[in-house]
Amino acid sequence: MPIPPKLTAEQRSAALAKSTAARQVRAATKARVKVGDLTLSAVFDLAKSDEAIAKMRVVELLESFSGVGKVRAIATLDRLQISQTRRIQGLGTAQRQNLLREFPDRIGATQRGRLLVLSGPGGVGKSTVAKALRATESFWVSVSATTRLARHNEVDGSDYYFYSDAEFDNAIKSALFLEWAEFAGNRYGTPRKPVEDALRDGKNVLLEIEIEGAKQVKASAPEAILVFLQPPSWEELVSRLEGRGTDSPERRAARLALAQEELAEAGLFDISLVNERVEEVVDRLIGLTNNS
C-alpha cells in the first residue's frame, strides 16, 4: 500500500472541501436522473468534463433511475459482466454500449408526465372532480388502497383496492406506498409503482388524497403540484357532509370536525381552487399541466 502523503492543514481542508463538493455534484446528478431530467447518455457526456461524475460508481447511477432499486442495478451489472465497484470513468466502450441499450434515452421521445395532488377537506367534492378528470383522459387517476369497508356502490380495483389491516401493514412494510395516512379511523395509501410507471410513460397523474398524504408527496416529490379544493362556503360543506347517506351519524360528525381542521391547511398548498362548478375545476387542473 502506498504511504499517504503528508498534508498541511490547508491541504487537508482543501481536500475535504473538494470531496464535499464532489459528493454534492453526485447527489444532484442522481436526483436529476431520478426525476427523469437526465438520461444515461447525458450522464456519460457530463462525466467527460466533470471529475466528480466520472468517479461515480456505476451501481449508484443505475440505482437512481426511477423504478430501479439496488437489487436490479446489481443484477444488471452482473449480467453485463461489469464489476459492482466500477466507476463511470472505468467503463469500456462495449460496457457503455450495453448499458445504453438497457437504459435508452426517453426524454424527448416521452416527456415525463406531471404529478398533481388534489386535496382538501372531506366532502368538498374531490372524488367527483377526479371522476370527471378521468373521463377527459388528460390524467391517469391513481386508485388508492384503503382499509375502509366498501360502500354499496363501490367497486374493488376501480374506486379503491379494499385491503385488510394485515394487507395494508404488509404494503407499508414493503414500501409499496408513495404515501399513506389515517383518516377518520381508516388507512388510505397510494400504490407507488403504477404512479411511477404512468409518469415515466409521459402521463399526467392525479392523486386524490387527504392532506397529510399530500404533504408526504410534496416532501418526496417537490415537483408535484399541490392543489387545495375549497368549498364555496362552510355551510355548503356542512350540508354536503350531512347529506351523505352512506356514512353513520358518528362518522359524519367526525368528518365535520376533521374538515374544520383541514380547511386551516390551505396555505401549505401551491394553488387553491373553489369548487363552484366541477367543469371549471377540471379545466383549471388540465391547464396546470400545460403551462409549466
Task: Tell me the closest approach of the beta carbon of residue 220 to ligand 5GP, in angstroms.
Answer: 13
* 252 in contact with ligand 5GP (CB under 6 A): no
Distance CA 179, CA 182 (A): 11
* Residue nearest ligand 5GP (C-beta atom): 213
CA atoms within 13 A on the CB side of 140: 16
* 188 in contact with ligand 5GP (CB under 6 A): yes
Member of 65, 163, 183, 228 binding ligand 5GP (CB under 6 A)? 183
Task: Tell me the closest approach of the beta carbon of residue 31 to ligand 5GP, in angstroms.
Answer: 24
* 213 in contact with ligand 5GP (CB under 6 A): yes
Member of 59, 62, 68, 209 binding ligand 5GP (CB under 6 A)? 209
Only one of the segments 65-73, 167-175, 177-185, 227-235 lies at the binding site for ligand 5GP (rule: CB under 6 A); that segment is 177-185
Member of 29, 76, 147, 190 binding ligand 5GP (CB under 6 A)? 190
- How many residues bind to ligand 5GP according to rule CB under 6 A? 16
Member of 36, 113, 125, 189 binding ligand 5GP (CB under 6 A)? 189
Q: Which residues bind ligand 5GP (CB under 6 A)?
A: 122, 126, 144, 148, 179-181, 183, 188-190, 208-210, 212-213
